[in-house]
Amino acid sequence: MDDNTKINTPLKVTGTDKGGNSNQPVSNQPPINQNTDFPFSSGSSETTDTLTSTPVVSSPDEKNTNSNPQEMPKSNLDKPETVITSQHVPEKYGGRKVIATIFGILLLIGGVAAGVYSVMNQKLTRTDAWDCSIYEFKVSQDGVVSVKNGFHKKAPGQKADIYINGNLVKTCDVPAINPGDTVPICAVAGFEVGNFTWKVIGSEDCEDEGSHQTTPTPTFTPTPTESLTTTPTPPEIGAGCHNVKAFDNNWNELTSSQLSQLKTGDSIRFTIGGTTDQGAFDKARFKINGVVRPEVSNKKPASDEFYDEFIIPEGTESFTVEAQINHSQLGWL
């Protein structure tokens, strides 16, 4: 018999009518059509299923002469029911245990996937919330703590621990910050302003640190401007010198005609003097026939004139005499 054989069992009920005809059919029983497919398991099983089919008694047809069609002969009612047995048919797909196992595996896979998604989503959420390269804490020289959100999304709030010179001095609340905003969050004190190290650590993410060093403000000492010292103009001094004079050895002044009669070897004394309203004259010098003679400080007796004694050399035919007198303040005149 095939695994999918259909069982069609027609049943006939016979009995004895009141006339004593035991072989006359009482009714035409319609066939029992078992259209159920019974796949047989390839494995062995000690359990059998019993399918019971109870015959259905139909009403008598037109040829039945029984006056009571509802009454069945006793002999027919006592006949045993038709029983059809077959091997145990297992549940589809391996039974309930297999389905439960598959369902459990699906639940496990779903739980792992949900966990991975949760971790990835948390990581993405944190990445979107804080980008520490552009989410910056700062502490100013006067102790004001601020945070700048350079991210393109709103940064969620958190807390921040403030360290000054390595010591935790304060924990501040950091609000949610809009993109591009810089927000002061608190201020710290108790340190030398402008000369300290600082560090800010966010409770959720990001930290920054830095330092401030006091740089003395240089004192610019103005370079004194050299004042143009004006040399005081000395008061004008009235000074002048007199004409050169010639004398003989006895201090007799020589006239022009006497000078023309002098000869080689004669001695002449030339004098120079001057007048001044300030200072004094201290020396004189003569230049005879283009030759400058040594300075002299000798004075003519009973006068302020300086003199130089000159002996006429051989071959001298004329005299050209120049003289200068030195003033103590004005120099050579």
Mind giving me the DSSP string for 289-312? TTEEPPPB--B-TTSS-EEEEEEP
Provide the pLDDT confidence category of residue 128 given band limits of 50, 70 and 90: low
**Of residues 30 and 101, which shows the higher confidence score?**
101
Average pLDDT over residues 98-108: 78
pLDDT value for 13: 40
Average pLDDT over residues 85-110: 66
Provide the pLDDT confidence category of residue 279 given band limits of 50, 70 and 90: confident
- DSSP string computed for 17-53: -TT--TTSBS--PPPEEE----PPPSS--S-EEEEEE
Tell whether pTM > 0.85: no
pLDDT value for 152: 86
Question: At 103, which helix (H) or strand (E)?
Answer: helix 96-129
